[in-house]
């Protein structure tokens, strides 16, 4: 592809991402699957430009609004070229030449305002913090409540691309053995600082094509997610329920902790999500897990299974504000109504899952959210209504597990461990 064709592809893909309710990674994957003729270098260039535009969306939109230009996908791409790349008009005319697969020629108005923007810096002293740090204005107060004086550092960290973390499958390899297996395929991995199973790869690789992945030695999982699973404290012989299992990422970690011994039930209301876990379990050599599709309330199954589990993990559906490094488009699709609906749903799920915990058992509540509404406030409400449960410190002097990209280098996570009284 020519450089101009890459820019046009990024414009088309940006329009699809912004026009779809689906996460950007899913839209992008579908878009490239339908265009298998695009080579790997071209894919990388298109992907990088698209994500850089998404990460600077507030900046670009602020400038376009300032000069009274409609923020279309084409306008954002032009603004990105002018402000971020400082592209001169001659370069833009060469890229936007109207040739086959390339963007249409610049209009006279576009030539004027791109020259004006090319003289500017991306940042401007009049920008409010929510523009400078790229988050929705309506979340400003909540994020300040969470981070206080650390807001700038935390928001900057959320703008950086996430690194690739792996979890070593202890059923098949030690961490050193997994490192050696990856190195044999010219994939360099180093131990993470916090998770005893974690590996970090410094650059993008085609991990799915590696023998180490196909043989089930490693699984892609952010270090923060590994720590949340570790907090469950699953042990061989226990009865454990992953109540919102999705595609089974944390179930895989729990099964490994249990050494394939005991009873592990992976639940979800989506049969599609659960079905995707089957191949992952098989690849990992896991055979102590049962998948169960819940109806909307899960009332019958919960009634039958009440009080039978030593550990119950609730990886609750949430705003995903802690994963903005991976999904920079998601923040702009989030609304106050979404947050209100999610907090109601989280409370309902937490209440239902608590019924499964046996006396003396533990309930672990996890979100990949940074918002107090979904985290501390949710736990406070639950404990006020559930006198037989009490919060258990995750470590001396620390009530909850709180992870952020700036502090721990992980995705943003919150976790609380709640113990049910024995009597």
Query: 297: pLDDT confidence band, cut at 50, 70 and 90?
Result: low
CB burial class (10 A; 0-12, 13-18, 19+) of residue 215?
middle
**Rounded Cα gap, residues 403 and 397, in angstroms:** 16
Closest CA to 389 of 402, 401, 379, 400: 379
SS3 2: coil
pLDDT score of 339: 97
Closest CA to 92 of 100, 107, 101: 107
Q: Which CATH class is domain 223-420?
A: alpha beta
CB burial class (10 A; 0-12, 13-18, 19+) of residue 303?
exposed
- Residue 296 or residue 308, greater confidence: 308
In the chain, domain spans: 3-127, 164-220, 223-420
Is 318 an annotated catalytic residue? no
Choosing from 241, 267, 318, 368, the catalytic residue is: 368
Element (H, E) at 358: strand 357-367
Both structure tokens of 125? 């002293």
Instruction: Say which CATH topology domain 3-127 has.
Output: N-utilizing Substance Protein B Homolog; Chain A (1.10.940)
Q: What is the DSSP letter of 209?
A: G
Number of Cβ within 10 Å of residue 342's Cβ equals 22
SS3 22: coil
Q: Which of 29-38, 191-200, 210-219, 304-313 has the lowest mean pLDDT?
A: 29-38
Please determine whether the domains at 3-127 and 164-220 fall in the same fold group of CATH.
no
Backbone angles phi, psi at 7, to 5 degrees: -65, -45
Express each pLDDT in 224-260 by its tens digit.
Answer: 999 999 999 999 999 999 999 999 999 999 999 999 9
Q: What is the DSSP letter of 392?
A: E
Express each pLDDT in 366-413 by its tens digit.
Answer: 999 999 999 999 999 999 999 999 999 998 888 999 999 999 999 999
Please, are residues 287 and 231 in contact by the beta-carbon 8 Å criterion? no
**Rounded Cα gap, residues 387 and 423, in angstroms:** 12
Number of Cβ within 10 Å of residue 242's Cβ equals 31
Give me the CATH code for the 164-220 domain, please.
3.30.70.1170
Express each pLDDT in 82-131 by its tens digit.
Answer: 999 999 999 999 999 999 999 999 999 999 999 999 999 999 999 999 99
């Amino acid at each position: 592809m020519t450089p101009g064709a890459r820019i046009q592809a990024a414009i088309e893909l940006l329009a699809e991402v912004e026009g779809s309710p689906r996460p950007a990674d899913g839209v992008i994957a579908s878009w490239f699957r339908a265009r298998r003729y695009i080579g790997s270098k071209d894919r990388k260039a298109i992907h990088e430009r698209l994500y850089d535009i998404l990460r600077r969306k507030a900046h670009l939109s602020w400038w376009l609004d300032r000069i009274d230009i409609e923020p279309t996908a084409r306008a954002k791409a032009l603004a990105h070229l002018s402000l971020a790349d400082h592209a001169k008009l001659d370069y833009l005319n060469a890229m936007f030449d109207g040739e086959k697969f390339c963007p249409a020629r610049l209009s006279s108005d576009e030539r004027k305002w791109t020259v004006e923007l090319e003289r500017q810096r991306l940042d401007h002293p009049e920008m409010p913090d929510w523009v400078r740090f790229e988050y929705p204005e309506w979340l400003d107060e909540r994020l300040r409540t969470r981070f206080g004086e650390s807001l700038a550092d935390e928001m900057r960290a959320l703008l950086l691309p996430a690194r690739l973390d792996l979890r070593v499958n202890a059923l098949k390899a030690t961490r050193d053995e997994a490192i050696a297996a990856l190195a044999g395929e010219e994939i360099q991995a180093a131990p993470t600082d916090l998770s005893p199973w974690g590996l970090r790869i410094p650059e993008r690789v085609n991990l799915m094509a590696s023998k180490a992945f196909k043989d089930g030695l490693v699984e892609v999982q952010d270090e923060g997610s590994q720590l949340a699973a570790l907090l469950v404290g699953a042990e061989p012989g226990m009865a454990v329920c992953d109540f919102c299992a999705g595609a089974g990422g944390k179930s895989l970690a729990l099964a490994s902790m249990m050494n394939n011994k005991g009873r592990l039930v992976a639940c979800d209301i989506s049969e599609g999500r659960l079905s995707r876990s089957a191949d992952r379990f098989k690849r990992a050599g896991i055979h102590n897990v049962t998948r169960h599709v819940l109806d909307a309330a899960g009332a019958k199954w919960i009634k039958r299974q009440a009080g039978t589990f030593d550990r119950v993990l609730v990886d609750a559906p949430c705003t995903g504000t802690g994963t903005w490094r991976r999904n920079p488009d998601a923040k702009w699709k989030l609304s106050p109504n979404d947050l209100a609906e999610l907090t109601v749903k989280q409370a309902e799920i937490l209440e239902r899952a608590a019924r499964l915990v046996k006396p003396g058992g533990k309930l672990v509540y996890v979100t990949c959210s940074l918002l107090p509404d979904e985290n501390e406030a949710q736990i406070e409400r639950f404990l006020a209504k559930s006198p037989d449960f009490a919060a258990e410190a995750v470590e001396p002097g620390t009530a909850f597990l709180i992870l952020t990209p700036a502090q721990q280098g992980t995705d943003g996570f919150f976790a609380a461990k709640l113990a049910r009284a024995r009597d």
